[in-house]
Amino acid sequence: MIDDDDAGETLYCINHPNRETYLRCGKCERPICPRCTITTPVGARCRECAQLRRLPQYQMDLRILPYSLLGGLGTSAAGWYILSFIPFFRFFASVFVGIAIGNVMSRLAKRRTHTILAAGAVVNVALGWLIATAIRSGGDIGFVTSGGGYGGLYVALPLLLAAYFAYTRLR
Ligand SMILES: [Zn+2]
Ligand SMILES: [Zn+2]
């Protein structure tokens, strides 16, 4: 059955006022041209109505990432900074730095796991250590690259330990 009123009515796309169309959004019923139509599992939708449905997912993944990455970096820098005052406790405590970074990042990411988060955790472990060491050494790059006065193993092992625990928390 054809509705005479509707058939006689010329519709114009809400995004393209010059473009005639016979389609309407299945939700808000505004006219949309084929190019503006987004096919969803529940039918044709305009851009806005389709985005309303999708936004929560995108928010979870993309908007949360920067907070989680920055929070992890802050935790890392703070953790390594504190650790630089207790050198003999370094190996044991580096595990907790890694776990703390993983927990903070996981919490800020609403308990989501993500490849970018796991990779970011490893970067945060190293970057936070660099920041903490740079602050402790007063920005002396030579001091930083020499391992802050201690041997390479004393730097590498705690970093690897922390990276491992931060990574597994977000994997
Ligand atoms: Zn709509
Ligand atoms: Zn259009």
pTM of the model: 0.58
Domain extents in the chain: 4-45, 56-170
CA angle 68, 69, 73 (to 5 degrees): 115
CA–centroid distance, 10 to ligand 2, in Å, is: 14
The count of other CB atoms within 10 Å of the CB of residue 40 is 14
Q: What is the CA radius of gyration of the chain?
A: 27
Which pLDDT score is estimated for 100? 94
CA–centroid distance, 64 to ligand 1, in Å, is: 27
pLDDT in tens, 109-158: 888 777 888 899 999 999 999 899 888 877 665 655 554 555 566 778 88
pLDDT in tens, 8-32: 678 999 999 999 999 999 999 999 9
Burial group, residue 48, by CB count within 10 angstroms (0-12, 13-18, 19+): middle
pLDDT in tens, 95-114: 999 999 999 999 898 887 77
DSSP state at residue 31: B
CA–centroid distance, 66 to ligand 1, in Å, is: 31
Ligand nearest the Cα of residue 35 is 2
Rounded Cα gap, residues 142 and 123, in angstroms: 21
Residues whose beta carbons lie less than 5 angstroms from ion ligand 1: 25, 27-28, 46, 49
CA–centroid distance, 8 to ligand 2, in Å, is: 20
Which residues on neighbouring strands pair with residue 83, listed in sequence order? Answer: none
Inform me whether the pLDDT recorded for 6 exceeds 80.
no
155: left (phi over 0), alpha (psi -120 to 50) or beta: alpha
